[in-house]
Structure 1
C-alpha cells in the first residue's frame, strides 16, 4: 500500500519507545490521531521530533486563544508556503472546530466572511513577506500574541519538513480533497479539538535538549521554552553540515525576499565548499527557501557524498527550516503587541 513517506523510514507506533513513544501518546490524546505522518517522519531524529511537537502543541493545541483562529493562521501559512498536505489537513481541522462554512470558504480560495478571520488569514499569508518589510500590524490583542505568532512560526517549520519528507496526500488517492471526506474527518476529530490541551504538558519531554533564550513574543508561556528547544536542536552540533556550509546557507537566507525563488534558484553551493558539503548545503538551502523542489536526485546525491542516515537527513532539513523561521521571526517581532 502506498504511504505518504519520502526518504525516511519512520518509527512505527508499535516499535516506538522512550521520547518517541511519549510524543506518539500525546499526539493520540491531544490531536485525536494515533498516527500523524508529519511527526512520524521526524521520528528517526527523536530530538527534532520532540522539539517540533512541543512547538506545535503548545502554540496550536494549548492556551486560551481561539482554536478556530489559530487553525486559520495554520492554513494561511500553509497556503503561502505551497504545502497542500498541510492545507488539506488544516481544512479538516477547521471542520473539526465546527465552522464548516469557514473551512470550505478557505478551501475554495475565498475570503472569510468574518472580518476577524479575514484579517488573520491575510496576516498569516503575508508572514514570509515580512522579511522584505514592512510587516503588517498583528491582527490580535497582546494576550493572543504568543499563541498566534507561535502557530505561524510553527507552521513555517512544519510546512518545510512536510514538503521535503511527505507526499502531497495524507489519504490514498487524494481523498482528503473531497468535501464530504473533509467534513467526516473533522467530525471524527472534533472531540479532541474542542477539549483542548493543557498548556505545558510537552515541556518535560524537552529535558536535556539544547536550548537558548526564549523569544520575547512568547511572553513567558510554555511556547517560548518549546521554540528555544526547537532552535537549539536545529542548530546543534548534531547537524551534519560543516561550519562553512552553514554560513553559506545562512547568508543565502539573509538575502531572501520572502517569496518563492525563480526556477533554478536557490543557487548551487559555491565550488569553494568541500565537495562532501555541497549536496548537504543544497538540501538545507532548499529546505529553507523551496522545500517542495527537493528531488530524489538531491537526496541521492547527499547520501552518496555524506553516507548519512535518516536521522542525519531530518536534522539537516530541520537546520534549513529553522534558518528560514529565524528570519521570519525577526521580521515579525517588531509588529507583535507588547
Structure 2
C-alpha cells in the first residue's frame, strides 16, 4: 500500500484475518471510518492494533461523558503535539457531533466561545492543570487524552500529515461534509467493554480508570507497547527511559543536540526517543539508519510504540502528581 504510509507497507485491509480483521470490523461499525489509516498502520503488530483501538473506543466513543467535550480534549492534545493530521480528524468529528461552529473555531486556531470547551481545550494542551470535569467523568477524559498522546506519536512518526487525498481537508466544506457523513455513527450509544475481547495482551489497570473497561484496555496497550524495548539493547532502552523521565511531561520542547543519540551510532535509541518527544522530527534518514534486515514493519511499529508509551507514562505520572497536589 502507498499513500499516507511513510515507512511501512501494511497488508490491504480486505486481506486481513484473525484479530486484525475483527478490529477492522468493529472499527467500521463503531467508529464509522472504514480502513482508518491511523489503525491500519499498526496492523503489522496485532496486539498494538487491538490495544490502541480498545483504549480509544472505551474512552472516546463509549461511556457517558460528552462526546463533544472529549473531542475537544483530543483536539487540544493533538495541537500540543503538533499533529495536524489528528487536529483535522477531530475537527471533522466535531462536525459529526453537530458542533460545526466549534469545529471551525478549533480548525482556525481560535478559542471556543463556550467557557467549558475553552477549559477542556486548555486541559488537553496541558494536563498538569486542574481537571475541568467531574470525578465520574475523569476515566473517559483522561483515557481519551492519553490515547491521543499515544496515537499522535504513531501518526506523526509513520503517516503523512494529509488526512484526505490531495490535502482536501483544508477546505471547510470538505471537513463539514466528511463530518456529516459520520453523524449517525458518532451519535450512536455504544456498549462499554465490547472491544476487550479483541485484546491479546494483559497489563495492570491504572487507578485513574476506576474499574471501567478503559483500565483493561490501557493495561493491554501498555504491555504491548513495552515489547518494543526488546528491539534495543539494555543501554539504549535505559537511555530512552531516562531522557523521557527528565522531561517535564508537559512542554513540547525540542530535543537538544546533546540529548539525541547520533544516527550512525545508536539509530534505534534515536528513533525511539524522537517518537517519544518529537515525532514530527523523524526523517527518512533516521528510519533508514535502523530499518534494515532483520528488522521489519512489525519491528518498526513496535519501536515507535515503545517511545510513544514512555512519553504517555511520563504524562500520566505528571497528571497523577498534579492531581495529588490539588487534592
Whether TM-score is above 0.5 comes out as yes
Shift of residue 154, structure 1, vs aligned partner:
0.3
Residue in structure 1 matched with residue 224 of structure 2 by the alignment: 233
Which stretch shows the higher mean deviation, 160-169 or 10-19?
A: 10-19
Alignment deviations for residues 250-307 of structure 1 (CA, whole Å, 9 cap, x no partner): 0000111332334654733379xx95xx111111000000001111101100024x63
Q: Does 1:317 align with 2:304?
A: yes
Residue in structure 1 matched with residue 70 of structure 2 by the alignment: 70
Residue in structure 2 matched with residue 183 of structure 1 by the alignment: 176
Any conservation in 2 of the 1:138–1:335 contact (CA below 8 Å)?
no
**Structure 2: segments with no counterpart, 5+ residues:** none
Residue in structure 2 matched with residue 39 of structure 1 by the alignment: 39
- Partners of 1:320 and 1:259 lie apart in 2 by 17
Residue in structure 1 matched with residue 53 of structure 2 by the alignment: 53
- Partners of 1:64 and 1:71 lie apart in 2 by 14
- Partners of 1:43 and 1:324 lie apart in 2 by 22
Shift of residue 235, structure 1, vs aligned partner:
1.2
- Partners of 1:261 and 1:122 lie apart in 2 by 18
Give the SS at the match of 1:235.
helix
Any conservation in 1 of the 2:2–2:9 contact (CA below 8 Å)?
no
Residue in structure 2 matched with residue 260 of structure 1 by the alignment: 252
- Partners of 1:294 and 1:270 lie apart in 2 by 13
For residue 142 of structure 1, the aligned residue among 129, 135, 138 is 135
Q: Does 1:326 align with 2:313?
A: yes
TM-score (norm 2): 0.94
Alignment deviations for residues 124-178 of structure 1 (CA, whole Å, 9 cap, x no partner): 1113xxxxxxx21111001100000000000000000000000000212211111
Shift of residue 103, structure 1, vs aligned partner:
0.3
- Partners of 2:79 and 2:254 lie apart in 1 by 18
TM-score (norm 1): 0.91
Any conservation in 2 of the 1:283–1:298 contact (CA below 8 Å)?
yes
Number of aligned residue pairs: give it: 324
Shift of residue 242, structure 1, vs aligned partner:
1.7
Alignment of 1:231-310 (within 5 A): 231-236=222-227, 239-257=230-248, 258-262=250-254, 264-265=256-257, 267-269=259-261, 275=265, 278-304=266-292, 307-310=294-297
Residue in structure 2 matched with residue 130 of structure 1 by the alignment: none
Q: Does 1:219 align with 2:210?
A: yes
Shift of residue 227, structure 1, vs aligned partner:
0.6
Alignment deviations for residues 235-256 of structure 1 (CA, whole Å, 9 cap, x no partner): 1377411222111100000111
Residue in structure 2 matched with residue 197 of structure 1 by the alignment: 190
Q: 1:263 to 1:221 in 2, by over 3 A?
A: closer
**Structure 1: segments with no counterpart, 5+ residues:** 128-134
Give the SS at the match of 2:261.
coil
Shift of residue 111, structure 1, vs aligned partner:
1.0
Any conservation in 1 of the 2:255–2:277 contact (CA below 8 Å)?
no
RMSD: 2.0
Q: 1:260 to 1:168 in 2, by over 3 A?
A: same
Any conservation in 2 of the 1:93–1:189 contact (CA below 8 Å)?
yes
Give the SS at the match of 2:13.
coil
Q: Does 1:24 align with 2:12?
A: no
Residue in structure 1 matched with residue 159 of structure 2 by the alignment: 166
Shift of residue 57, structure 1, vs aligned partner:
0.9
